[in-house]
């Protein structure tokens, strides 16, 4: 009994020792910054000057239209781009799963490649393709689809379209792979039974494929929502500093600019990031409830 | 045996910790090494390398390590300053428009070089303004951003014009007339304009000596210079005289590929133009157009420019100061010759006034139309540049004005006055209080 106890104590100690490096790093680089942000959020902190302002940073935020506008852009991208992307990914996954028999692996690689390319590299490339004298405009002009070049990067409306298209290009393949795995895990016997019952392909898709794939779709939606809330690289590089005229400014980019580009306003940037964390948290919570609800 | 495993584990950790300690001791910088951060190996990096070579002739024991930081140099320096100087170099290059932010936010970050004996009366005064705080002056001025209007003479000829007729002081009304002729005859826009940049408007407004801020640091956009500049920009855009480029790279390729018949910027563009040797003999530079009717207007302006600063946290402060003083701020013939070298080698025109007698300053430049002595011209125009005031909120103002200009071009804002109001509104929201 006693020997068993000391053995468990030993195991316990070894266990703690093994997780200690990860714990120490976590405390140093996650927990400590999070806790210290509670302090900084109440400060007007610029360079070496650091004074207490209480809720002043939040009061300033209430009058900051540019931040509200940036959050609005996050939502626009979220509500337009995520459904579009999931729809496309679903179609691609079904086609790859059923329609195409040969070269399936090659297609999968081609669709998956965009999301492993560097964010900066693809943003720079898209920038060149989308210039007013870029490849895309030239193609459209030569095909006589448009009379004047489209301001993909210069026009406040088209710049938003550009961001949505770029995000869709980058992430559709990634989500498609999840759907593909989901599709392959659906038992073929179910389809055979449906076939026997005389259900059309369309009906099979809506009554069998879609419901059984729902958990995967929800998972994709959750991760994409999170990603869109943190959207940074594309508006910073592709449409350049959230341009034109803040038309693609996002919350994360605005926080970065307040802290590191404009006037080193670390306290205010911290307060802004609190709002983003709260919103992301609320989304994640809602979606987890949605996901969890299906398991029960 | 289990105990043995545990002690082995502890031993491994202890040994690796000890190795880290030994390693960090070994990496301590040697006392005779000066590290410099800058961002363009063909321009400021090249210039600093020449300065290092000059200094090493007298002080071969000092190693000067010039590090190219192409991106986010400000964020790196901020992080270093926040941590009390760790990871910072001894010397760094700062944009003139950003230094006031650093001096104000980090009052003890830089060495007072006036106290260290630098004679600032020998530098162009407009460079000294932003680096001064109270009685202290913190930097060594590097280059000038003296501006001019660059024109492609072959396109002017194609439009049936004689380039020599335009080699003089012009007003913006003349430029618009010229643009209309060029557009009618060659279908090309007169000016390549980078719509992500604030430079064009800045050059126009600063040609009148108008500041973007008042003395107390508050915003000063409701000025005749701003109103007139924005109105002219709108007219240029509405008449199709601007080739709108999206960002720097697009803009540079527009210049070099002849998408427009000209552009307006500072002399540091010369290196970029020369990177396309096919265009030799085609370019000419005329004075910055005049904002006539606005008080203080001149045919000269400034865009950009940067300066060297020594960090107070540097362990090799004395050597670093001596290095800068005996190269960049010395009227020794060898130092003046160094200025002459970087002008030819990198197109970097220093702002140390005694250096302006160098042979390369007056030499004809065969790359330009009729071998125009461009450096002589830019150096003459530099004398007219007023002292500029940037304040810590310069970047915030820059973004706000650039965005308003953008909306003006798109027709979402109708007039210059509305654009100013929009810029003021955005500044009010984003500027730190």
Q: Is residue A85 part of a domain?
A: yes
Annotate B194-215 with b (16+ C-beta within 10 A) or e (fewer): bbbbbbbbbbbbbbbbbbbbee
pLDDT bin (cut points 50, 70, 90) of residue B29 is: very low
Range(s) of the domain holding residue A229: 58-295
| Closest CB to A14 among B6, B75, B246 | B6
pLDDT bin (cut points 50, 70, 90) of residue B266 is: very high
Max CA distance (Å), chain A: 87
pLDDT at residue B26, as a whole number: 47
Q: How far is A96 from chain B (nearest CA, A)?
A: 38
pLDDT at residue B25, as a whole number: 47
Q: How far is B79 from chain A (nearest CA, A)?
A: 10
Residues 130-159, chain A, touching B (beta carbon < 8 A):
131-133, 153-156
pLDDT bin (cut points 50, 70, 90) of residue B15 is: low
Which chain A residues touch B410 with a CB distance below 8 Å? 154-156, 244-245
- Structure token digits, residue A205: 């898709």
| Closest CB to B432 among A14, A46, A48 | A46
pLDDT digits (tens, 9 = 90+) for B152-201: 999 999 999 999 999 999 999 999 999 999 999 999 999 999 999 999 99
Interface test with A, best of B5, B311, B421, B430 (most A CBs within 10 A): B430
Q: Does A227 touch chain B (CB under 8 A)?
A: no
Which chain B residues touch A246 with a CB distance below 8 Å? 403, 426
Domains of chain B: 33-144+304-357 (3.40.190.10), 147-301+375-430 (3.40.190.10)
Contact A47 B105 (CB under 8 A): yes
Q: How far is B151 from chain A (nearest CA, A)?
A: 22
| Closest CB to B429 among A14, A64, A128 | A64
pLDDT at residue A260, as a whole number: 87
Q: Is residue A46 part of a domain?
A: no
Q: Is residue A225 part of a domain?
A: yes
Whether the link from the prior residue into A244 is cis, omega within 30° of 0, is yes
Is the pLDDT score of B27 beyond 80? no
Interface test with B, best of A50, A244, A254, A267 (most B CBs within 10 A): A244
Contact A263 B431 (CB under 8 A): yes
On whether the CB atoms of residues B311 and B90 are closer than 8 A, the answer is: yes
Is the pLDDT score of B410 beyond 70? yes
pLDDT digits (tens, 9 = 90+) for B39-95: 988 899 999 999 999 999 999 999 999 999 988 898 899 999 988 889 999 999 999
pLDDT at residue B1, as a whole number: 40
Helix (H, G, I), strand (E, B) or coil at A49: strand
Is the pLDDT score of A121 beyond 60? yes
Number of domains in chain A: 1
Angle between helix axes B44-58 and B317-327 (nearest 10 degrees) is: 100
pLDDT at residue A48, as a whole number: 84
pLDDT at residue A133, as a whole number: 87
- Once rounded to an integer, what is the mean pLDDT over residues B109-118? 95
pLDDT at residue B4, as a whole number: 54
Residue of B nearest to A49 (CA): B105
Is the pLDDT score of A291 beyond 90? no
- Once rounded to an integer, what is the mean pLDDT over residues A133-160? 93
What residue has token string 């100087």?
B85
pLDDT bin (cut points 50, 70, 90) of residue B385 is: confident
On whether the CB atoms of residues B130 and B100 are closer than 8 A, the answer is: yes
pLDDT digits (tens, 9 = 90+) for A53-93: 999 999 999 999 999 999 999 999 999 999 999 999 999 99
pTM for this structure?
0.88
- Once rounded to an integer, what is the mean pLDDT over residues A270-284? 92
Residues of B contacting chain A (CB within 8 angstroms): 2, 6, 9, 72, 74-75, 78, 81, 101-102, 104-108, 195-196, 244-247, 249-250, 259, 392-393, 395-396, 399, 402-404, 406-407, 410, 412, 425-426, 429-433
pLDDT digits (tens, 9 = 90+) for A90-108: 999 998 888 777 888 888 8
pLDDT at residue B432, as a whole number: 82
Burial (Cβ within 10 Å: 0-12, 13-18, ≥19) of residue B390: buried
Contact B250 A131 (CB under 8 A): yes
- Once rounded to an integer, what is the mean pLDDT over residues A221-248? 92
CATH number for the domain including A277?
Answer: 1.10.3720.10
- What average pLDDT is seen over chain B? 91
């Amino acid at each position: 009994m006693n020997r068993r106890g000391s053995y468990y104590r030993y195991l316990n100690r070894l266990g703690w020792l093994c997780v200690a490096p990860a714990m120490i790093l976590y405390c140093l680089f996650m927990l400590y910054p999070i806790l210290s942000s509670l302090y900084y959020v109440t400060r007007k902190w610029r360079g070496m000057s650091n004074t207490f302002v209480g809720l002043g940073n939040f009061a300033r935020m209430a009058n900051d239209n540019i931040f509200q506008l940036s959050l609005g852009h996050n939502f626009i991208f979220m509500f337009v781009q995520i459904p579009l992307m999931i729809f496309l990914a679903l179609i691609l996954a079904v086609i790859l799963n059923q329609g195409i028999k040969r070269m399936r692996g090659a297609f999968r690689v081609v669709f998956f490649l965009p999301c492993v390319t560097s964010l900066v590299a693809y943003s720079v490339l898209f920038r060149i393709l989308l210039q007013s004298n870029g490849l895309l405009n030239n193609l459209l002009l030569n095909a006589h689809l448009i009379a004047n070049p489209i301001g993909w990067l210069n026009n406040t409306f088209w710049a938003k379209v550009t961001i949505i298209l770029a995000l869709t290009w980058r992430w559709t393949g990634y989500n498609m792979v999840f759907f593909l795995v989901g599709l392959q895990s659906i038992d073929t016997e179910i389809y055979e039974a449906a076939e026997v019952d005389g259900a059309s392909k369309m009906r099979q898709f809506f009554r069998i494929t879609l419901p059984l794939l729902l958990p995967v779709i929800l998972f994709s939606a959750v991760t994409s929502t999170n990603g869109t809330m943190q959207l940074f690289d594309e508006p910073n590089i592709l449409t350049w500093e959230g341009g034109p005229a803040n038309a693609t400014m996002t919350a994360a980019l605005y926080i970065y600019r307040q802290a590191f580009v404009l006037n080193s306003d670390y306290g205010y940037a911290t307060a802004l990031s609190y709002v983003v964390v709260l919103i992301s948290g609320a989304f994640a919570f809602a979606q987890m409830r949605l996901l969890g609800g299906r398991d029960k | 045996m289990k105990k043995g495993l545990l002690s082995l584990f502890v031993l491994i950790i202890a040994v690796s910790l000890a190795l880290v300690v030994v390693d960090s001791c070994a990496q301590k910088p040697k006392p005779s090494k000066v590290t410099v951060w800058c961002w363009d190996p063909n321009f400021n990096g090249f210039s600093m390398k020449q300065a290092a070579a000059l200094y090493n002739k007298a002080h071969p024991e000092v190693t000067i390590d010039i590090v190219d930081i192409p991106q986010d140099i400000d964020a790196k320096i901020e992080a270093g300053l926040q941590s009390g100087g760790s990871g910072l170099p001894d010397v760094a290059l700062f944009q003139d428009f950003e230094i006031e932010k650093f001096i104000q936010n980090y009052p003890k970050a830089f060495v007072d070089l006036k106290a260290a004996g630098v004679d600032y009366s020998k530098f162009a005064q407009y460079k000294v303004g932003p680096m001064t705080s109270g009685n202290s002056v913190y930097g060594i001025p590097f280059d000038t951003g003296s501006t001019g209007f660059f024109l492609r003479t072959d396109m002017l000829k194609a439009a049936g014009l004689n380039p020599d007729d335009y080699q003089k002081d012009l007003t913006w009304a003349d430029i618009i007339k010229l643009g209309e002729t060029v557009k009618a005859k060659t279908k090309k826009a007169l000016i390549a304009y980078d719509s992500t940049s604030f430079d064009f408007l800045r050059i126009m407004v600063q040609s009148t000596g108008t500041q973007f801020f008042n003395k107390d640091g508050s915003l000063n956009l409701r000025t005749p210079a701003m109103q007139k500049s924005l109105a002219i920009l709108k007219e240029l855009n509405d008449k199709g005289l601007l080739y709108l480029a999206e960002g720097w790279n697009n803009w540079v390729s527009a210049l070099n590929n002849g998408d427009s018949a000209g552009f307006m910027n500072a002399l540091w563009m010369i290196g970029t133009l020369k990177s396309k040797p096919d265009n030799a003999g085609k370019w000419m530079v005329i004075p910055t157009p005049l904002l006539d009717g606005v008080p203080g207007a001149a045919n000269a302006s400034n865009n950009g420019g940067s300066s060297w600063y020594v960090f107070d946290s540097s362990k090799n402060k004395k050597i670093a100061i001596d290095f800068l003083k005996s190269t960049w701020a010395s009227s020794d013939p060898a130092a003046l010759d160094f200025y002459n070298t970087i002008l030819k080698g990198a197109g970097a025109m220093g702002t140390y006034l005694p250096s302006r007698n160098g042979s390369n300053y007056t030499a004809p430049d065969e790359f330009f139309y009729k071998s125009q002595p461009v450096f002589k011209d830019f150096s003459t125009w530099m004398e007219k540049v007023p002292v500029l005031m940037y304040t810590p909120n310069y970047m915030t103002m820059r973004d706000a004005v650039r965005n308003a200009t953008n909306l003006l071009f798109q027709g979402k804002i109708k007039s210059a006055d509305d654009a100013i109001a929009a810029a003021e509104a955005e500044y009010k929201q984003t500027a730190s209080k």
